[in-house]
Amino acid sequence: MRTIFWDDCVKLIDQTLLPDRFEVIKCKRVEELADAIKRLAVRGAPALEAAGGYGIALAAYERDFAEVGELKEHIRKCAELLASTRPTAVNLFYGIERVLSAAMQGENVEEVKLLALSEAEKIASEDVERNRQMGKHGAKLLKDGFTVLTYCNAGRLATVDWGTALGVIRSAVEEGKKIKVIACETRPLNQGSRLTAWELMQDGIDVTLITDSMAGIVMQKGLVDCAIVGADRIVRDAVFNKIGTYTVAVLAKEHSIPFYVAAPETTFDWGKEAKDVVIEERSREELIYCNIKCKRSLIAPTDVGVFNPAFDSTPLNYVSALITEKGVIYPPYDENVPKALGF
C-alpha cells in the first residue's frame, strides 16, 4: 500500500499512530493536510513531495468554483499554507511548485482540476519508480552478509513506496543477499524505533534496535559494515537530515566505515549552501514528555530550557557516496554531482 494516495481526497497512513495502530486517515480539506504535515502524520522528504503535490490537487477539488480566476486564487493561497508547514525538506516545495505550475496552465475550472490531479499522480508514481532505480544502484554497495546501520526512517513510510535508504536495503535483500539492519531509535520522535523497525519487520528483514547513544559502541565493536541514511536537502557543502545524523557520520569516519546518503534528484538544492537552509525547531513538549501524543509522563522538569532542532547538517566530506536514481555519485561532489544530475 502507498503511504499517501488520492481516493476522492488525500488519504495517508497516520505515522503518529504506528506501531500501536495502523490507520489510514482522510484529508478532505487542505487545512487538514497541512495539519497532518505539521504533526508528522505524513513525513519524510519524498512523501512530503507527494503531499505538497496532492495538496494543490486537493485545493482544486475541495469545493466548487464558479470561475477559473477564483479557483487559481484559492490554489495560490493553499500553496502558501502548505509551504508554511515545514521549512527544511526541499521536496515539499518542489511538489507544491510543480503541481501549481501545471494547474496554472488550465483555461477553465475543469481543466485546472484535471491538470493538478494528473501532475500530483505523476509525482507519486515517479517516486516509486525512482526509489526502485536508487535501490538497484545502491544495492551494488552492499555485500552479502553486510550489517547496515540506519538512522531515522527513510523507508516506504518516508516515500510513496519502497524507500530511499531502506529501498537500497530492500533491493539488496530482493537480490538474495543476507542483510542485517541496525536501526537507531532517533530521539525525540523515534522514527527509527516506531517506523523503521516496524516496516523492516513487516518485510521480514533482520533488524536490531539500538538507542542513538549506542551507535558508537556498535561501530567500535566492528558490528557495522556501512551506514545508509536518507536526506531532506542536499546543498553544495552539506546534507541535511534528521537530528543526530551528523553524529553518526562523524562516528563512521572515525571508524573508517562508509557513510552513504540515498536521495532522489529532487532532494538536491545545489544552488544553496548550508548557511542558507532553515532548520526546523520543534516544540519543547517533544523533549519533556515521554509520550508527546497525550502529553503525559514527564521525563524532564516542565520548565527546563529546551533546544529542539529537527535536523542537522553533515558536511559532504563525511559522505562516502550519494546514491541517486541516476547512479552512485562519488567525491569530488562539486564536479560529479552536476555531471551526474545535469545541474
Give the residue at shortest CB distance from ligand MRU: 230
Least CB distance to ligand MRU at residue 274 (A):
16
CB 98 within 8 A of CB 106: no
The correct pick among 242, 260, 313, 320 for binding ligand MRU (CB under 6 A) is: 242
Judged by CB under 6 A, does residue 231 bind ligand MRU?
yes
Surface-to-core class of residue 82, CB atoms within 10 Å of its CB (0-12 exposed, 13-18 middle, 19+ buried): buried
Residues 6+ apart with CB under 8 A from 325: 129, 130, 131, 133, 134, 137, 264, 265
Q: Which of residues 256-315 bind ligand MRU (CB under 6 A)?
A: 310
CA distance 91 to 126: 13
Three-class secondary structure of residue 1 per DSSP? coil
The correct pick among 154, 183, 277, 329 for binding ligand MRU (CB under 6 A) is: 154
Judged by CB under 6 A, does residue 51 bind ligand MRU?
no
Radius of gyration over every alpha carbon of the chain, rounded to an integer in angstroms: 20
**Catalytic annotation, pick one of 127, 161, 212, 232:** 232
279: region left, alpha or beta (phi > 0 left; psi from -120 to 50 alpha): beta
Least CB distance to ligand MRU at residue 154 (A):
4
- State which residue, 119 or 232, has the beta carbon closest to ligand MRU: 232
The correct pick among 102, 158, 197, 251 for binding ligand MRU (CB under 6 A) is: 158
Least CB distance to ligand MRU at residue 312 (A):
10
The correct pick among 41, 134, 152, 234 for binding ligand MRU (CB under 6 A) is: 152
DSSP single-letter state for residue 199: H
Q: Which of residues 89-108 bind ligand MRU (CB under 6 A)?
A: 89
Three-class secondary structure of residue 89 per DSSP? coil
User: Does 232 qualify as catalytic in the annotation?
Assistant: yes
CA distance 102 to 111: 10
Residues forming contacts to ligand MRU in the complex (CB under 6 A) are 40, 43-46, 89, 152, 154, 158-159, 164, 191, 230-232, 241-242, 310
Annotated catalytic residues are 232
